[in-house]
Amino acid sequence: MSLSALILAGGRGRRLGNVEKSLIRCSDGSLLERTIGILECIVDEVIVSVRDEGQAQELADDARGKEMVFDTYQNVGPLAGMLEGFKMAKGEYIFVTACDMPFIDKEVVKFMFHCAEGHDAAIPLHNDGSMEPLCGVYRVEPLLPLIESSIRSNRKFILAPVFELDDVVKVNIELLKEFDPQLKSLININTLEDLGQFDLY
């Protein structure tokens, strides 16, 4: 089974003072380099979603030669990046994460692929019933047209197309603790406070 991974890096980092979040430095280079390093030993291809050609040039060195895709739809949010990444993906299944989630665990990613096999998607489920779509695995074929139809109908919520899938495995986050006891895989860096709270070195 061919596997892909998509890193969403097109966000503008407004809550971090409009810095390029992908280029924030950590012990393994930039956040983008760190995430690529984690994923490239698990999947057959890593795709990086960016806003436009200008951002692609800015991230080129840190993308380490990985394929980059540009948003066709503007001001849509993560779904725009997912759409282009899914179009490019060669794998049957794709793991989706964001460049500001620098603590994803390799074993968690492998487990999510395992959970998704034979289904349309596998997504972590929080104890409050909410889902974490940016640590999820999706079967490309059924979700791709649903992403585009959601965008065209102005339903920009990242889970809008996922709710239309027939067969989604909701993976209780307690199961992820076997591999990632502190659930650091689900942490994202949005603000300067977040940046100071978590040790990236």
**Residue 58: CATH number of its domain:** 3.90.550.10
pLDDT tens track for 60-105 = 999 989 999 999 998 899 999 999 999 999 999 999 999 888 889 9
Residue 150 lies in a domain: yes
Q: Which domain holds residue 58?
A: 3-196
Helices vs. strands in the chain: H and E counts, helices first: 7, 9
Give the β-pairing of 45-50 and 67-70.
parallel
What is the rounded average pLDDT of the residues 18-46?
A: 85
**Number of domain units in the chain:** 1
pTM tops 0.75: yes
In angstroms and rounded to an integer, the radius of gyration of the C-alpha atoms of the chain is 16
> How many Cβ atoms from other residues are within 10 Å of residue 133's Cβ?
20
Residue 164 in this model has a pLDDT that exceeds 80: yes
Residue 201 lies in a domain: no
**Are 106 and 36 contacting, i.e. CB atoms less than 8 angstroms apart?**
no
The one-character DSSP state at 12 is: -
The C-alpha angle with vertex 82 and arms to 187 and 120, in degrees rounded to 5, equals 85
Q: Take residue 18 and report the two structure tokens written for it.
A: 């409009």
Residue 71 lies in a domain: yes
| Tokens 């059924």, residue located | 142
Residue type, 142: P
